[in-house]
């Protein structure tokens, strides 16, 4: 059996390993990406970035593409309804100096889908091809495409979408093994990832869906044959999952993560957010992360409740102090 932990090459850019952080709007800002990279993620992806917003010069949208200090590979995820919109964003996207572009064909959010972007593109696979071609022509960068298995159970067309994406020059394909209609439950159907890899044995396939523990990650690599995996919800509140996965892949014991380590990480995460957003906004932004960090910890629920009104770093410190 081939070594499950290995580097991955995207054009001129090489990720040193194959354990990635998936794009998550509202979560994978540069602070969280940086944290996950420190904990062993081999590549991260930005939150989804609107090509239309970039082309218009929206400062908020452009800020999403800012590189984290330790982010050697800046992988910007773009979304657009068509090739023309994607093309118009490229000059400004290039100013962020990314190494890789990922293109979103999986977002199920109605606001996005109704414009023809995100998973709506899976109903229009030829346009996916035109977009990949346009992005490659305009930027010369490696382009990866992120899809779902189809729009709904009656229109499973991931093989067709993958084929068109690769024919038009995609350097890799990642797939969330659910249809658009399924949103985030029930379970992801990993057999589709296996089929995808079997159909494109020489292409880079990245698996996503229901990776909640390090054991899940190892199992997906083994069972489906995908080249790489991407942690999404499993990394929220648990950036340690990357280190844990690598330990398992190296035949070591699963590293235990103590409450003290979690508290230290929360405070570090909060300081990072504070340096970008200011203390008050960071304390608010951090609440959703804290809920995830404290899951399963004794007295975690009580502290989570108290933190839901904390507006200073000092208050966070005081509340978290009750856990040790």
Ligand X SMILES: Cc1cc2nc3c(=O)[nH]c(=O)nc-3n(C[C@H](O)[C@H](O)[C@H](O)COP(=O)(O)O)c2cc1C
Q: Give the separation between CA 85 and CA 90, rounded to whole angstroms.
A: 9
Q: From edge to edge, which strands make up the β-sheet containing 205-208?
A: 19-21, 228-231, 205-208, 172-176, 143-147, 100-105, 75-79, 48-50
Picking from 140, 60, 58, 63, the residue whose alpha carbon sits closest to that of residue 99 is 140
Residue appearing with tokens 């960090």: 293
**Size, binding site for ligand X by CB under 6 A:** 22
Regarding 217 and contact with ligand X (CB under 6 A), the answer is no
In order of 54, 108, 184, 212, 252, the CA distances from 244 in angstroms are 36, 30, 24, 12, 9
Minimum Å distance from CB 36 to ligand X? 13
Q: Which is nearer to ligand X, 249 or 263 (CB)?
A: 249
Stretch of 122-130, 204-212, 249-257, 309-317 lying at the interface with ligand X (CB under 6 A) = 204-212
Output phi, psi for 44, to 5 deg.
Answer: -125, 170
Tokens 């609440």: give the residue.
Answer: 287
Query: Per CB under 6 A, does 176 bind ligand X?
Result: yes
Shortest reach from residue 232's CB to ligand X, in Å: 3
d(CA 250, CA 216): 15
Q: Taking the CA atoms of the chain, what radius of gyration do you get in angstroms?
A: 19
Among 41, 121, 131, 211, binds ligand X (CB under 6 A): 211
Backbone dihedral region of 251: left (phi > 0), alpha (psi from -120 to 50 degrees) or beta? left
Q: Which of 44, 99, 139, 208 binds ligand X (CB under 6 A)?
A: 208
Q: Is position 26 an interface residue for ligand X (rule: CB under 6 A)? A: yes
Q: Biggest alpha carbon distance in the chain?
A: 57
Instruction: Give least dist CB 148 to ligand X, A.
Output: 8
Toward ligand X, which CB reaches closer, 26 or 251?
26
Residue with tokens 């856990």: 323
Contact 280, 314 (CB under 8 A): no
The catalytic residues are 107
Closer residue to ligand X, CB minimum distance, 22 or 266: 22
**Could you say whether residue 104 binds ligand X (CB under 6 A)?**
yes
Which range, of 31-39, 124-132, 207-215, 313-321, touches ligand X by CB under 6 A?
207-215
**Contact with ligand X (CB under 6 A) among 214, 232, 263, 310:** 232
**Site membership for ligand X, residue 61 (CB under 6 A):** no
* Residue 1 Cβ vs ligand X, minimum distance, rounded to whole Å: 24
Q: Binding mask 28-57 vs ligand X (x if CB under 6 A, - otherwise)?
A: -------------------xx---------
Tell me the closest approach of the beta carbon of residue 177 to ligand X, in angstroms. Answer: 8
Residue 150 within binding range of ligand X, rule CB under 6 A:
no
Residues that bind ligand X (CB under 6 A): 22-27, 47-48, 77, 104, 106-107, 146, 176, 188, 208-211, 232-234
């Amino acid at each position: 059996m081939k070594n499950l932990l290995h580097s991955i090459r995207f054009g001129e850019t090489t990720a040193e390993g194959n354990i990635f952080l998936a794009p998550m709007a509202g979560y994978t800002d540069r602070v969280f990406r940086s944290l996950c990279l420190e904990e062993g993620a081999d590549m991260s992806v930005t939150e989804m970035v609107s090509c239309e917003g970039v082309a218009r010069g929206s400062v908020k949208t452009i800020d999403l593409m800012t590189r984290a200090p330790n982010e050697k590979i800046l992988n910007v995820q773009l979304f657009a309804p068509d090739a023309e919109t994607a093309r118009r964003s490229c000059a400004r996207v290039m100013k962020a100096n990314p190494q890789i572009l990922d293109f979103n064909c999986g977002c199920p959010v109605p606001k996005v889908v109704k414009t023809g972007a995100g998973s709506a593109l899976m109903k229009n696979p030829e346009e996916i091809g035109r977009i990949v071609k346009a992005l490659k022509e305009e930027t010369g960068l490696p382009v990866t495409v992120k899809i779902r298995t189809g729009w709904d159970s009656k229109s499973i067309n991931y093989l067709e979408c993958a084929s068109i994406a690769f024919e038009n020059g995609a350097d890799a394909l990642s797939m969330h093994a659910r249809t658009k209609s399924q949103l985030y439950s029930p379970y992801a159907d990993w057999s589709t990832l296996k089929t995808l890899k079997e159909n494109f044995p020489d292409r880079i396939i990245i698996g996503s869906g229901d990776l909640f523990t390090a054991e899940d990650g190892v199992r997906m690599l083994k069972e489906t044959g995908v080249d790489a995996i991407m942690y999404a919800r499993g990394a929220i509140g648990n950036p340690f999952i990357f280190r844990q996965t690598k330990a398992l892949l190296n035949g070591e014991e699963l590293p235990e993560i103590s409450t003290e380590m979690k508290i230290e990480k929360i405070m570090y995460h909060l300081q990072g957010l504070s340096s970008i957003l200011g203390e008050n906004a960071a304390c608010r932004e951090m609440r959703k992360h804290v809920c995830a960090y404290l899951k399963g910890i004794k007295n975690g629920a009580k502290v989570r409740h108290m933190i839901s009104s904390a507006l200073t770093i000092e208050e966070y410190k005081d509340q978290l102090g009750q856990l040790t």
